[in-house]
Amino acid sequence: MHTAFPKIAFATISLAAAGAVWIGINASSPDNRQSINPFANEAHAAEKAVIIPTPRIDASEKGARATAIFAGGCFWGVEGVFAHTKGVISAVSGYHGGTKRSAAYKLVSAGMTGHAEAVRVVYDPDVVSYGQLMQIFFSVVADPTMLNAQGPDRGKHYRSALVPMNDAQARAARAYLAQLGEGKYWKRPIVTKVEAYKAFYPAESYHQDFMHKNPRNAYIVRWDKPKLANLKQHFPGLYRAKPVR
């Protein structure tokens, strides 16, 4: 019995360890983000907001609407925050950087398409400027120092990127990244890139408005609701309770 016990214990511990590893992988796997974790609740540690100054150079845009694209990890949270931002007319989850043929969730999640999970934001520049959207993005949505990763997710399709849609946005985006780098608001260097626009492909319908439709989803509770709470707390003048649909 004494000689058998260590083997049994070792096997039990190994099985438990393997299960823990599997749970960790399963929790961050793109195909399992919708799984419900009964232990997820509002008390989970939130991602910290990094409140940064407004851009010194903003895009001067006129008209009733303008469009910009932001890639910042899982598009559920990016869309959810911008949907609650005043002046935003629509926020659509989708894919940017690859081909139309490869713009499908399972293919993008494999990390071989060149796409990034991204959100196309249409907004009224008289209410919220491109610079303010960038400030919100880097303050409460995406960590610009994480390379090909955000939160628990890893892979090039989770990279952070600014995708300007015109020259004014491009100038503002490059200037803001330089400004943030000089300010050293993060301990690590900024790796977010400005990507040239190629084409944006809306994601599957079940991804759209995901945070609003699935408020108790474990991933949403752990990783995305804190971002929304930070928007409300730190940008009260630009927060709206009812999201755009």
Positions annotated as catalytic residues are: 74
Question: The tokens of 49 are what?
Answer: 């907001």
CB atoms within 10 A of CB 238: 19
Q: What single-letter DSSP state applies at residue 141?
A: I
- The closest of 145, 128, 156 to 64, measured between CA atoms, is 128
- Whole-angstrom CA distances from 78 to 4, 140, 206 are 53, 9, 15
Question: The tokens of 102 are what?
Answer: 């490869």
Residues with Cβ within 8 Å of residue 237, at least 6 apart in sequence = 86
Q: Is 162 helix (H, G, I), strand (E, B) or coil?
A: strand
Contact, 54 vs 185, CB < 8 A? no
- How far the first Cα of the chain sits from its last, in Å, is 65
**Tokens 């690590």 found at:** 188
Q: What single-letter DSSP state applies at residue 191?
A: -
Q: Is 223 helix (H, G, I), strand (E, B) or coil?
A: helix
Beta bridge partners of 121: 68, 91
